[in-house]
Amino acid sequence: MAEAEALVAEIEELGGKLAEAKGSIQKRFIGQPVVVDLVLSALLCGGHGLLIGLPGLGKTRLVDTLSTVMGLDGARIQFTPDLMPADILGSEVLETATDGSRAFRFIEGPIFCQLLMADEINRASPRTQSALLQAMQEKSVTVAGQPHALGKPFHVLATQNPIEQEGTYPLPEAQLDRFLVQIDVPYPDRATERDIVMATTGIEDEAATPVFTAEELLAAQTLLRRMPVGEAVVEMILDLVRACRPDDPDAPQIVRDHVGWGPGPRAAQALMMTVRARALLDNRLAPNAEDVAAMAVPVLTHRMALTFAARARGERLSDVISAVVEQVTRAKAAA
C-alpha cells in the first residue's frame, strides 16, 4: 500500500511539472496544444518524433523551445542532398604531436547531443539518412569500427515538408518505424494566428524558462514505465494493431480493401508507452480507452501503407485508422 501511495505521489508531482513545462513552451510556441502534447509524449517515452508540416508553422521554434524547457543540450542539422554521414556522426582526423608522433583523434559530430533537430530530413540521401538508424535505435554510433555512446537522454525530432517532393528522398520504412509518433502540424486557427502575430512582431520576444533537467527527464521516463495499464486497455491496443493488418483473419473489410501492409509489434509497444504519456499529461494516474483512440493515428500512420488503388482514389490512412478505431471501440462496448 505504501509503495502504491508513493507511486501516486510521484505521478501527481510529475504531472504538475509537466503542466508548468507546457506553460513555458506556450510562451514561444503559441497554441497547437495537441502538437505540444505529442512532442512531450515522445520525450517522456524516450522516443523520437517526426514533425510534418508546411514551412513557417513554427516547427524549428518548437524544438528550440523544448531544448530550453526540458534542460537538454540541443543541436540542429539542416539536411541537404550533399550532406554526408561524417557531417552528422563526426570523423577521425590524423594529428601530429610535438614529438612527431601521429595518432587518430575522433571529432564528434552534431549528433552528440541530447535533443537533435533533423531539419527537412527527407532532403538528405539514403546513405546519410541511414547514418541516423543506429543512433535512433541503439543510442550509439560506430565510426572506424569503434562504438561511441550518445548523450543521455537522446531524442531526434525530425521535420518534413509534406508537399515538396522535388529533390527529396522518401524515408525508408525501417527508419519511419523508429519514430515513436508522427506529428502533423496544421495551420493555426484565426485567434491563435492573431496571438502569434502580436507576440512575435514586437521589440522583444517572449523567452521560455527551464523546467526540467536532463536527469529529471530520465527519471520521468522511468516513472512512466511504472504507470499501471488496465487489462482492458492492453486488449484494446492489441485488437487495434492486429485489426490494421490486412492479412489478419479478423481484419475489418476497410483494412482489406485499402491497406497494403500494416503495423508490427513495435506499434503496439509504442501505443503502450504513449497512452501512459497522454494520461500523465492530462494529470491522470492510468490510461483509458480514450487515450488509445487519441494516439492511434500519430502512432500508426507512418507504420502502415495504402494500396496503390487506395492512393489513386485519394484515400487517407488517418481516415482508415479512425474507422478501425471506431469499429474496435464499438466491439469492446458490445462485448
| 215 and 235 inside one domain | no
Of 207, 226, 245, the one marking the end of a domain is 226
pLDDT band at 194 (very low <50, low <70, confident <90, very high): very high
**Based on the domain organization, do 29 and 177 belong to the same domain?**
yes
75-86: b or e for each residue (b if 16 or more CB lie within 10 Å)? bbbebeeebebe
Asked whether residue 309 falls in the same domain as residue 335, the answer is yes
Q: Which of 226, 255, 280 is the last residue of a domain?
A: 226
Which of 12, 14, 76, 6 lies closest to 44 in space, CA to CA? 14
Residues 78 and 95 in one domain: yes
35-49, 58-72, 194-208, 314-328: the lowest-pLDDT one: 194-208
CATH code: domain of residue 240: 1.10.8.80
| d(C-alpha 307, C-alpha 305), whole Å | 7
21 and 112 share one domain: yes
190 and 315 belong to one structural domain: no
From 203, 226, 249, the end of a domain falls on 226
pLDDT reported for residue 166 = 66
CATH number, domain with residue 160 = 3.40.50.300
Sorting pLDDT into bands at 50, 70 and 90, what band is 174? confident
Average confidence (pLDDT) over 35-64: 92
205 versus 215: which is more confidently predicted?
215
- 134/178 Cα distance (integer angstroms): 10
User: What pLDDT digit, counting tens, does each position of 261-305 carry?
Assistant: 899 999 999 999 999 999 999 989 899 999 999 999 999 999 999
The number of folded domains in the chain is: 2
70 lies in the same domain as 182: yes
Mean pLDDT of the chain, nearest integer: 89
* 217 shares its domain with 315: no
156, β-bridge pairs: 116
Which residue, among 96, 108, 178, has the nearest Cα to 146 in the 3D structure? Answer: 108
Domain assignment of residue 331, given as a range: 229-335
Regarding whether 267 and 184 lie in a shared domain, the answer is no
From 154, 285, 155, 211, select the one nearest 26 (Cα to Cα). 211
Residue-level pLDDT at 199 = 84
The answer to whether residues 241 and 306 belong to one domain is: yes
Element (H, E) at 118: strand 115-119
Residues 115 and 177 in one domain: yes
pLDDT in the model for residue 304: 92
Q: Are residues 110 and 123 in the same domain?
A: yes
